């Protein structure tokens, strides 16, 4: 809907709904007009999720949306022009999910709800379309679009200069792309008028990315290659939040809260269920998100009674969270008093010298082990409940 200034305003979106963008083929002012429609997630038409680098520019451009205008960053305008060029080669590309349009960025509550279901959004999309940007110095004949779903420019990757060009794009430094591509059913990459499939792109390039130039080894791209390529079990089972944050410390995000929020879809199921009761919440300040996260990580990496062994820097680097060292250390001190029992205590309750003695009795060993596993699951449920309550209380009572 539009207000009196003909500016687009998002209508309220139900928690079980999703908005999808339809791209028109005509483009007055070289700005493809768009229509934005809400659908129930359970009956949404086939659609394609779009992944691209937003950039640091302010909203100094606009797009045509439902007959009105929506202020956007220049990177989105460029994406839409590039996407329209490629649509002729992909007849199924009618509906798209583009976060900057489909989520009301000014509505913190809606954003929190939709980001919480981001994994569902990318898993349910027919494919994820990656826009790497326009080529600045491409020859005209070399960049003609290729029609057809299976035709692509993968053969051109024998050129080392093109490889450097592709993987030097700022897109690969963004922390959000990890979940966007790891969760995708299929991936198509667009670079100017060139396009590639992920399956065709990775086999010849994976060793060069992981073992090649240091700027690539320490980027989100290397981690992405590992996770999407199935070299680790992370894609299926998830990883620990702390380890994900540590390994992606070199990745970029405009909103520092996304150091945590962008990884929630990738953490282990139990950990995600616990953190998901609190995050993502874009009504929280950056410092409060840091405080809750640091309190949680402190329990994992520096549990009582071993806290004296660790310095804060050994448990977590302040660079990951972004503030100056003094603020970081102040927040670390504020985590004191919010300790909960560490997970290791649950194992001690179940697997101790007495219980190990029972396991040595061959006639009852199988039944004993089954009983002990049941007891451990019960203790872990209680432990997660205690930790959840503690984190909720911290989030509620903190004045930050």
Residues 188-236: pLDDT tens digits?
Answer: 999 988 888 887 776 666 666 666 655 566 556 666 666 666 544 455 6
Q: Is residue 207 part of a domain?
A: yes
Predicted TM-score (pTM) of this structure: 0.80
Residue 355 lies in a domain: yes
Buried/exposed code over 65-76 (b: 16+ C-beta within 10 A; e: otherwise): bbebbbebbebb
Same domain, 76 and 220: yes
Q: Kindly list the distances between the CA atom of residue 159 and the CA atoms of 143, 219, 222, in Å, as whole numbers in the listed order.
A: 14, 22, 20
- 11-29 residue pLDDT tens: 999 989 999 999 876 665 6
Task: Report the C-alpha gap between 122 and 225 in whole angstroms.
Answer: 18
Q: Would you say residue 258 lies in a domain?
A: no
Supply the mean pLDDT for the chain: 81
Q: What pLDDT does residue 117 have? A: 92
**Residue found under tokens 């009196």:** 4
For residues 41 and 159, state if they share a domain.
yes
Q: Are residues 130 and 60 in the same domain?
A: yes
Q: Among 174, 204, 231, where does a domain finish?
A: 231
**Among 147-161, 313-327, 341-355, which is the least confidently predicted range?**
147-161
Joined tokens for residue 219: 């980027």
**266 occurs within a structural domain:** no
Look up tokens 């009572």; give the residue: 397
pLDDT in tens, 134-176: 887 665 444 454 444 445 677 676 667 787 788 788 888 888 8
The half-sphere exposure of 136 on its side-chain side, counting CA atoms within 13 A, is 3
Last residue of one domain, picked from the residues 205, 231, 257: 231
Q: How many CB atoms lie within 10 A of CB 198?
A: 17
Rounded CA gap, 50 and 95, in Å? 10
* Overall average pLDDT of the 377-384 stretch: 86
Please indicate, yes or no, whether residues 203 and 68 belong to a single structural domain of this protein. yes
Q: Are 166 and 113 members of one domain? A: yes
| pLDDT per position as a tens digit, 31-47 | 778 999 999 999 999 99
pLDDT (0 to 100) of residue 361: 80
CB 210 within 8 A of CB 217: yes
What are 247-300's pLDDT values in tens digits? Answer: 777 788 888 899 899 999 888 888 888 899 999 999 999 889 999 998 888 877
For strands 17-23 and 34-40, give the pairing.
antiparallel
DSSP 377: H
Q: List residues bridging with 70 in a β-sheet.
A: 63
For tokens 């996407």, what's the residue?
83
Question: Looking at residue 219, what DSSP letter applies?
Answer: S
Average pLDDT over residues 316-336: 78
Q: Which domain holds residue 323?
A: 271-397
Distance separating alpha carbons of residues 224 and 205, to the nearest angstrom: 13
Does residue 105 sit in the same domain as residue 170?
yes
- CA nearest neighbour of 49 among 110, 100, 112: 100
- Do residues 224 and 85 share a domain? yes
Q: Tell me: do 278 and 212 sit in the same domain.
A: no
Domain-located, residue 261: no
Q: What is the rounded CA–CA span in Å between residue 129 and residue 195?
A: 10
Both structure tokens of 342? 């560490």
Q: Is the dihedral of CA 324, 325, 330, 331 positive or negative?
A: positive
Degrees, nearest 5: CA angle 22-177-153:
70
- Of 194, 210, 184, the C-alpha closest to 51 is 184
Same-domain check for residues 39 and 161: yes
Three-class secondary structure of residue 323 per DSSP: coil
Residue 183 located in a structural domain: yes
In the Cβ-directed half-sphere of 151, how many Cα atoms lie within 13 Å?
10
Structure token digits, residue 215: 């700027």
- Give the count of domains, the chain: 2
Residue 311 lies in a domain: yes
Does residue 291 form part of some domain?
A: yes
Residue 35 shares a structural domain with residue 179: yes
Contact 268, 343 (CB under 8 A): no
Per the DSSP assignment, residues forming a β-bridge with 127 are none
DSSP 248-311: TTT-B-SSTTHHHHTTGGGB-HHHHHHHTTT---TTS-HHHHHHHHHHHHHHHHS-TTSGGG--
Residue 216 and residue 275 share a domain = no
The residues facing 188 across adjacent strands are: 129, 197
Task: State whether 187 and 283 are in the same domain.
Answer: no
Which residue, of 231, 262, 296, is where some domain finishes?
231
Average pLDDT over residues 339-347: 76
């Amino acid at each position: 809907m539009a207000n009196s200034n003909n500016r687009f305003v998002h209508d309220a979106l139900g928690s079980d709904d999703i908005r999808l963008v339809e791209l028109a083929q005509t483009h007055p002012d070289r700005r493809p007009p768009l229509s934005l429609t809400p659908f129930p997630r359970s009956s949404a038409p086939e659609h394609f999720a779009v992944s691209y680098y937003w950039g640091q520019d302010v909203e100094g451009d606009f797009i045509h949306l439902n007959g009105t205008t929506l202020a956007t960053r220049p990177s989105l305008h460029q994406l839409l022009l590039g996407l329209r060029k490629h649509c002729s080669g992909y007849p199924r590309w009618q509906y798209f999910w583009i976060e900057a349009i489909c989520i009301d960025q000014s509505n913190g509550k809606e954003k929190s709800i939709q980001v919480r279901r981001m994994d569902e959004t990318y898993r349910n999309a027919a494919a994820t379309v990656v826009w790497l940007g326009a080529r600045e110095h491409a020859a005209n004949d070399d960049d003609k679009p290729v029609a057809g779903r299976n035709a692509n420019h993968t053969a051109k990757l024998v050129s080392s200069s093109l490889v450097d060009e592709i993987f030097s794009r700022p897109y690969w430094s963004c922390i959000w792309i990890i979940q966007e591509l790891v969760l995708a059913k299929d991936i198509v990459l667009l670079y100017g008028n060139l396009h590639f499939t992920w399956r065709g792109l990775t086999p010849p390039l994976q060793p060069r990315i992981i073992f090649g130039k240091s700027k690539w080894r320490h980027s989100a791209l290397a981690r992405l290659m590992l996770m999407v390529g199935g070299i680790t079990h992370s894609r299926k089972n998830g990883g620990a939040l702390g380890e994900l944050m540590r390994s992606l410390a070199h990745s970029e995000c405009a909103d520092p809260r996304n150091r945590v929020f962008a990884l929630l879809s990738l953490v282990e199921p139990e950990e995600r269920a616990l953190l998901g009761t609190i995050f993502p919440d874009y009504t929280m300040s950056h410092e409060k998100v840091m405080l809750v996260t640091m309190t949680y990580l402190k329990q994992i990496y520096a549990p009582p009674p071993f806290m004296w062994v660790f310095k804060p820097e050994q448990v977590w680097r302040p660079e990951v969270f972004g503030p100056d060292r003094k603020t970081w250390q102040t927040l670390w001190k504020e985590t004191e008093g919010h300790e909960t029992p560490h997970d290791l205590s649950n194992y001690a309750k179940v697997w101790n010298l007495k219980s190990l003695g029972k396991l040595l009795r061959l006639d009852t060993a199988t039944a004993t082990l089954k009983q002990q596993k049941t007891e451990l699951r019960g203790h872990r449920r209680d432990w997660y409940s205690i930790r959840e309550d503690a984190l909720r209380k911290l989030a509620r009572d903190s004045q930050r």
